[in-house]
């Protein structure tokens, strides 16, 4: 089977969040299952700076774009039957950020990602790589499926191509003005409720849901949640209509990158039988946040997250004083919305000995937090899958999460009597519920003889990609029967 995956960010080339981890790891686990795979993404400035081993395989390919012949180049990174293809067009992708500055999205994002999507289809044709399945991720690649259905409807090259559309976050839909349709090569008639129109705008993600052979999302729980008005972002009706073709496949972890025994970013390796290394990591983490005076037995709570409303920072900010009163220290690494940056910075000014804060995207520091914290806090309003709870488990850092989406699927409440569970979770979205759950964790943390087995149990949880990759393979195989 030939599979072409389209994603706007892929590890190690570019990353802003979980999509990049997934689009980088899943192909590595699919390829040994006998698939011929190409992963297509844009070539960003960030990628160029990394000096990764890329080879230009197409010097210049021209395509019709907004009434003109427009050239682009293609770079490749190849390992056997797995190839990563990067579309280079500097006008669109040679910028400081992937999607926008801290002040807001780039105004031409609709055009940029439609260009990427169309160039990806043209690249496949040029290379003679006729995909059995196009697997598009999120709104940035969703529009490829609209192009495939309409602009390429008569193209025999794609006559037998099926498609899978994966939603990593339903809240980001790619909404643009109606005028864009003509510019990206789609007929104006698609601006109707049955097609791409959505409350007066063109909705790229809606195209992915409508025109794909099947839709998937990144946990079973989230696949159900998005069919309700609460989580459906006004697309729940459409998703309910497609529910027979809607699947939930949990993301996995690439334990080659996320393993405390081999992690090159942490000061001392450790494993379930050697937890002294974790103590060293805790000291190192506290040093990195200038919290050197914090005592060894003090519970340290870590957070690595986009600073966004989705991630629960309003209830975190509301809880800070109580958290500090409980004698815990919080370390936060994140980038994003200014309101949360300001609120956290102000709290840090007020309680410098209890709150460590770094406003940045920092891969190396993120590993130090997973390794050096005692607990990991994820109080999300909603969470399609969530990777950080799975990473922290492997590093023996006990997750305290809100029971939603993938967090609910992966974390079971610890039960002292039964000795079951791998973390703590709360239902209600409130500071009170967060604090009550955190309190349970902090109380248990004081009882070393009980805490240690929980840490070891957490480390033994297995969310490796092998299982989920096989589920994707089975779904690819089923698509031809749909």
* Interface pick for ligand ADP out of 361, 439, 450, 473 (rule CB under 6 A): 361
Q: Pick the closer one to ligand ADP by CB: 122 or 409.
A: 409
Q: Using CB under 6 A, which of the segments 14-22, 45-53, 58-66, 128-136 binds ligand ADP?
A: 14-22
Neighbours of 39 (CB within 10 A): 26
Q: Using CB under 6 A, which of the segments 95-103, 152-160, 299-307, 415-423 binds ligand ADP?
A: 299-307
* Interface pick for ligand ADP out of 47, 140, 163, 366 (rule CB under 6 A): 366
Q: What angle do CA 359, 364, 367 make, to 5 degrees?
A: 100
Q: Is 2 in the site for ligand ADP (CB under 6 A)?
A: no
Q: How far is the CB of 223 from ligand ADP (least distance, A)?
A: 16
Q: Using CB under 6 A, which of the segments 16-24, 151-159, 338-346, 468-476 binds ligand ADP?
A: 16-24
* Interface pick for ligand ADP out of 108, 362, 413, 471 (rule CB under 6 A): 362
Q: Pick the closer one to ligand ADP by CB: 18 or 185.
A: 18
Q: Is 18 in the site for ligand ADP (CB under 6 A)?
A: yes
CA distance 383 to 51: 33
Q: Pick the closer one to ligand ADP by CB: 207 or 384.
A: 384
* Interface pick for ligand ADP out of 79, 177, 179, 363 (rule CB under 6 A): 363
* Interface pick for ligand ADP out of 8, 388, 392, 397 (rule CB under 6 A): 388
Q: Using CB under 6 A, which of the segments 53-61, 94-102, 265-273, 384-392 binds ligand ADP?
A: 384-392
Q: How far is the CB of 172 from ligand ADP (least distance, A)?
A: 9
Q: Is 21 in the site for ligand ADP (CB under 6 A)?
A: yes
The pattern of x and - marking residues 209 through 248 that bind ligand ADP according to CB under 6 A reads ----------------------------------------
Taken in order 99, 47, 12, 148, is the CA torsion positive or negative? Answer: positive
Binding-site size for ligand ADP (CB under 6 A) equals 18
Q: What is the 3-state secondary structure (H, E, C) of the chain?
A: CEEEEECCCCCCCCCCCHHHHHHHHHHHHHHHHCCEEEEEEECCHHHHHCCCCCEEEEEEEEEEECCEEEEEEEEEEEECCEEEEEEECHHHHCCCCCCEECCEECCCHHHHHHHHHHHHHHHHHHHCCCCCEEEEEHHHHHHHHHHHHCCCCCCHHHCCCEEEEEECCCCCCCEECCCHHHHCCCCHHHCCCCCCEECCEEEHHHHHHHHCCEEEECCHHHHHHCCCCCCCCCCHHHHHHCHHHEEECCCCECCCCCCCCCCCCCCCCCECCECHHHHHHHHHHHHHCCCCCCCCCCCEEEEEEEECHHHCHHHHHHHHHHHHHCCCEEEEEEEECHHHHHHHHHHHHHCCCCEEEEECCCHHHHHHHHHHCCEEEECCCCCCCCCHHHHHHHCCCEEEEECCHHHHHHCCECECCCCECCEEEECCCCHHHHHHHHHHHHHHHHCHHHHHHHHHHHHHCCCEHHHHHHHHHHHHHHHCCC
Residues 324-353 touching ligand ADP, rule: CB under 6 A, are 333-335
Q: How far is the CB of 382 from ligand ADP (least distance, A)?
A: 10
Q: Pick the closer one to ligand ADP by CB: 83 or 336.
A: 336
CA distance 482 to 480: 6
* Interface pick for ligand ADP out of 1, 2, 17, 451 (rule CB under 6 A): 17
Q: How far is the CB of 116 from ligand ADP (least distance, A)?
A: 19
Q: Pick the closer one to ligand ADP by CB: 195 or 374.
A: 374
Q: Is 24 in the site for ligand ADP (CB under 6 A)?
A: no
Cβ-closest position to ligand ADP: 18
Q: Pick the closer one to ligand ADP by CB: 213 or 366.
A: 366
* Interface pick for ligand ADP out of 74, 387, 407, 438 (rule CB under 6 A): 387
What length does the chain have? 482
Q: Pick the closer one to ligand ADP by CB: 131 or 312.
A: 312
Question: Which residues make up the interface to ligand ADP (CB under 6 A)?
Answer: 17-19, 21, 304-306, 333-335, 361-363, 366, 385-388
């Amino acid at each position: 089977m030939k599979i072409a995956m389209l994603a706007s960010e892929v590890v190690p080339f570019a990353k802003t969040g979980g999509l990049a981890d997934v689009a980088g790891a899943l192909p590595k686990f699919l390829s040994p299952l006998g698939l011929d795979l190409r992963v297509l993404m844009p070539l960003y400035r960030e990628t160029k700076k990394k000096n990764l081993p890329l080879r230009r395989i197409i010097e210049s390919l021209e395509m019709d774009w907004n009434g003109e012949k427009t050239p682009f180049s293609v770079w490749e990174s190849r390992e056997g039957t797995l190839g990563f293809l990067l579309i280079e067009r500097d006008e669109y992708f040679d910028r400081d950020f992937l999607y926008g500055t801290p002040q807001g999205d780039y105004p031409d994002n609709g055009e940029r990602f439609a260009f990427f999507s169309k160039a990806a289809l043209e690249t496949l044709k040029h290379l003679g790589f006729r995909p059995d399945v196009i697997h598009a991720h999120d709104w940035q690649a969703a529009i490829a499926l609209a192009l495939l259905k309409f602009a390429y409807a008569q193209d025999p090259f794609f006559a037998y191509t099926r498609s899978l559309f994966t939603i990593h976050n339903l809240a980001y839909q790619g909404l643009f003005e109606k005028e864009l349709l003509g510019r990206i090569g789609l007929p104006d008639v698609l601006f109707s409720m049955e097609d791409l129109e959505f409350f007066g705008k063109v909705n790229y993600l809606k195209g992915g849901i409508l025109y794909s052979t099947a839709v998937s999302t990144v946990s079973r729980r989230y696949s159900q949640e998005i069919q309700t008005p609460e989580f459906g972002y006004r697309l729940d009706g459409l998703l309910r209509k497609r529910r027979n073709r809607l699947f939930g496949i949990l993301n996995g972890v690439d334990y080659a990158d996320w393993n405390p025994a081999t992690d090159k970013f942490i000061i001392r390796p450790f494993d379930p039988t050697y937890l002294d290394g974790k103590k060293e990591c805790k000291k190192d983490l506290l040093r990195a946040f200038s919290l050197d005076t914090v005592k060894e037995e003090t519970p340290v709570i870590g957070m690595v997250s986009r600073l966004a409303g989705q991630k629960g920072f309003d209830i975190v900010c509301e809880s800070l004083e109580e958290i500090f009163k409980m004698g815990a220290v919080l370390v936060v690494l994140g980038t994003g919305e200014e309101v949360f940056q300001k609120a956290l910075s102000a709290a840090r000014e007020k309680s410098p000995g209890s709150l460590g804060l770094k406003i940045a995207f920092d891969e190396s520091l993120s590993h130090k937090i997973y390794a050096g914290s005692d607990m990991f806090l994820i109080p999300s309003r909603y969470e399609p899958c969530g990777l950080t709870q799975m990473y922290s488990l492997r590093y023996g850092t006990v997750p305290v999460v809100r029971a939603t989406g993938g967090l609910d699927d992966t974390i079971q409440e610890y039960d002292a009597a039964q000795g079951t569970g791998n973390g703590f979770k709360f239902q209600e979205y409130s500071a009170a519920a967060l604090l009550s759950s955190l309190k349970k964790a902090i109380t248990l943390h004081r009882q070393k003889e009980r805490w240690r087995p929980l840490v070891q149990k957490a480390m033994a949880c297995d969310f490796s990609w092998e299982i989920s990759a096989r589920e994707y393979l089975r779904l690819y195989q089923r698509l031809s029967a749909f």
